[in-house]
Amino acid sequence: MTRSVSIFGATGSVGLSTLDLIRQHRSKYRVVALTANGNASAIAQLAREFDAEIAVVADESAYSKLKEALAGTGIEAAAGADALVEAARRDCDWTMASIVGCAGLPPTMAAIEAGKTVALANKEALVSAGALMMAAVHKSGAKLLPVDSEHNAIFQCLAGGKLDQVRKITLTASGGPFRSFSLDEMRAVTPAQAVAHPNWDMGAKISIDSATMMNKGLELIEAYHLFPVGLDRLDILVHPQSVIHSMVEYVDCSTLAQLGSPDMRIPIASALAWPERIATSCKPLDLASIGQLTFEQPDLVRFPALRLARAAITQGGAKPAILNAANEVAVAAFLNGQIKFLEIAALVESTLTAYLPEAPMNLDDLFIIDADARHYAREELEKLTSGN
């Protein structure tokens, strides 16, 4: 049967990878909605290629250009935050949520509240609003399919298993480009060095997060919500080859691991076809050529972001949202040359200490906390830079 799909963030890397898979299996999928931030020409071209029902740009100033690009096609054009939410509520079988940042929260929540199957690639959504999002999932009966390679790996390893039979879930981390650097060497790291990830081709922000291991801390928060086995059963292990994406150990001491090449199309394909599988053009795993797989414990002294993320889970409430917002401010400051590499985590920690709001009860509360956290982070940034 043909599966109807909507892709939020269709012009981003995850969205384009999803469309690449659909392109290879056109008879299996029908595209309902495609959205972009403001690139009207790109989203119009994709909407034409995949004969979408509707194309939406978040930036309302791009609406006239989008409407003009789709004239005569029969494809509906829309713009603005409300249009994104309305598109998320449209009838379809499967929704890819890959809008970057908290801007992706309203349409993602709308799809969840409508009881849809949602493939989640928006890390910030679950980190900042995990409790709210999972409550909505339980209320509506929606199905949340993780797309992050680590969480998708856990999801696959849990197939046929039960959470109460799990002894431990282990997320693997590449360790980033500075895995073997000393603290003194890390103090001298430049933005150009930090964005050069050894295994994955990623944008600047997520590459910095990988280098500080904040990315793994954020993924720990995601795993806490997606797989509720308790924080004490969630672990992180450094695995430089990035071949094993995550592991699940059961009470009988059996450990299942999901392996694959570092290509995001593999976990996307898993979610797109679930509970079936589809062929991909990804590079097959060649263990003989890789030769060996190595592992080591993460160093919390050199990578304090992991400690901050675990503390944010323990403290709960608004802390994960503050962590996420402060980290975005800190990463931007590092990329702009305002602070040094090791000061990224220091800025996040000082913001977590300075800002102590109540837990968010809804998305409006969350957006206020996110904005206020950024304000506090910028104040902490001023203190930090004035001392440099």
Closest CA to 239 of 221, 259, 265: 259
105 and 16 within one domain: yes
109 and 212 within one domain: no
If the chain, 388 residues long, is cut into consecutive pieces of 10 residues, what is the mean pLDDT of each piece? 96 95 97 97 98 98 97 97 97 95 92 97 91 96 96 95 95 93 94 76 80 96 97 97 96 97 94 96 94 96 97 97 97 96 97 97 96 98 84
3-state secondary structure (DSSP) of residue 285: coil
pTM: 0.94
152 and 295 within one domain: yes
Whether residue 79 is contained in a domain is answered as: yes
Whether residue 329 is contained in a domain is answered as: yes
CA distance 153 to 108: 22
Identify the domain containing residue 124 by its residue range.
3-146
Question: How many structural domains compose the chain?
Answer: 3
154 and 38 within one domain: no
Q: Which of 91, 113, 146 is the last residue of a domain?
A: 146
Quick one: 109 exposed, middle or buried, by C-beta within 10 A (0-12, 13-18, 19+)? buried
138 and 50 within one domain: yes
Closest CA to 105 of 177, 170, 8: 8
Q: How many CB atoms lie within 10 A of CB 279?
A: 10
pLDDT score recorded for residue 200 = 56
pLDDT score recorded for residue 247 = 98
| Residues 163-222 pLDDT 10s | 999 999 999 999 989 999 999 999 999 998 988 766 555 568 888 999 999 999 999 999
- Taking all residues of the chain, what is their mean pLDDT, rounded to a whole number? 95
182 and 299 within one domain: yes
320 and 299 within one domain: no
Whether residue 326 is contained in a domain is answered as: yes
* CATH number for 36: 3.40.50.720
pLDDT score recorded for residue 14 = 94
CA distance 70 to 48: 8
127 and 48 within one domain: yes
Q: Which of 268, 303, 338 is the last residue of a domain?
A: 303
pLDDT score recorded for residue 204 = 81
328 and 295 within one domain: no
User: What are the phi and psi torsion angles at 50 (to 5°)?
Assistant: -100, 10
Q: What b/e sequence results for 358-387 when a residue is b if at least 16 CB atoms lie within 10 Å of its CB, and e otherwise?
A: eebeebebbbebbebbbebbeebbeebeee
pLDDT score recorded for residue 79 = 98
pLDDT score recorded for residue 201 = 56
Q: Which of 96, 119, 146 is the last residue of a domain?
A: 146
User: Tokens in use for 316?
Assistant: 């709960």
Whether residue 309 is contained in a domain is answered as: no
pLDDT score recorded for residue 202 = 59
382 and 296 within one domain: no
Whether residue 310 is contained in a domain is answered as: no
